[in-house]
Chain A
Amino acid sequence: MFGFHFCKVSGMSMSPRIPENSYVFVVPWLKIFNLKEGCVLKVLHPRYGFIVKSLAQVDRNGLFWLKGHHKTSVPIEKLGPVGKSQIQGKVLWVFPPK
C-alpha cells in the first residue's frame, strides 16, 4: 500500500557504505521531500536499469547527479543526470551481510 520494499544489492560500487549482497529498505514516497546530497536512492537508470547510488548533487535545472562510493563505480559524468521521475525511492535502512 505504501510501496516500501526490500531490494538486494548486487555489485560493490557502493561499498563500504553498502557492501555487496546487502538488503536495502526502500521507501518510494520519501522522494517527494527535499533530497539532500549524500542520501542513497534507488533509480531506474535509462542505461543501467535499477541501480542504487548516492545523490552527489542537484543541479540548477533540478536534475539529480549520482555517484557510487567505490573506486570502480561508474563515474558521475558517465552516469549522467536523472530526473525526479526516474527516482524510485529513498533508501531508509541498509542491512549489510555479516
Chain B
Amino acid sequence: MLYNFIAKLDRKLHFPVVKGHCDIPCKIYDPISAQIAALTIIRMVDLLNELKEKPSLTFDEQAEFLRLVNQKEIHGVKVKEEISIIWGDYIKAPQLGQYPELHELVHNIMLASSQAKQHISRDAAMTLLEKVNRFAEIFWATKQVTTFTATCPYPPAEQLVYPNLKD
C-alpha cells in the first residue's frame, strides 16, 4: 500500500533515479567478442609480418608497428576478459557437468592469449583462435543452439564458429 502511494507520488513528482549499477547487462553473454578479438590478434600478426619483410621502416611505418603491437596487446587482454566473464558469471555446475573440460579449456585460453601477446607468431595466434572457437562451441551447446563453422568474411579470413540461430 505504501509502495503504491509512493509510486503515485512518483508519477506526479518524478523522483530522481539512482542506479544499482551492474557490470554488464544481466544474462547477456556471447563469445563472439572474444572470437573477434582472437581474429584481430591474427590480423595484427599478419600486418606485423608484412612490415617485417621490409628492409627498413620509415618513420610512419615505425608508428604503425607500435600501433599494431599495441592493438595486439589490447585484444589479448580482451580475449581474457571476455572469456573469464562468461566463465565466472555464466558457467555453473550444470554446464561443468556437461563439459568437464571447461576449466582446463579456459585456463588454456589464458595461457594461449599470453603466448599470443608475448610473440609475433601466427601459430600462437591460431592456437588461441582454435581454443576460443571450442569455447564458443561449448557455450552455444549449453544453450541448445547448434553451431556451424565458416570462414569469416573479412581478413584474416579464418574459420570461426557461429551459432545457428535459425534452428
Interface residues, chain A, CB within 8 Å of chain B? 5-15, 18, 20, 23-24, 42, 45, 48-53, 68, 70-75, 78-79, 95-98
Interface residues, chain B, CB within 8 Å of chain A? 2-3, 6-7, 9-10, 15-24, 26, 89
Sample of 23 A–B contacts (CB below 8 Å): A5-B16, A6-B9, A6-B10, A7-B16, A8-B17, A9-B17, A11-B19, A11-B22, A13-B19, A20-B20, A23-B15, A45-B21, A52-B19, A72-B26, A72-B89, A73-B20, A73-B23, A74-B21, A75-B23, A79-B21, A95-B2, A96-B3, A97-B3
Which chain A positions have C-beta within 8 A of B3? 23, 95-98
The B contact surface, by secondary structure, is mixed
Q: Are B19 and A12 in contact (CB under 8 A)?
A: no
Complex partner residue of B21 from A18, A68, A71, A97, CB under 8 angstroms = A68
Which chain A positions have C-beta within 8 A of B6? 6, 23, 95
Complex partner residue of B18 from A15, A51, A68, A71, CB under 8 angstroms = A51
- Nearest A residue to B2 by beta-carbon distance? A95
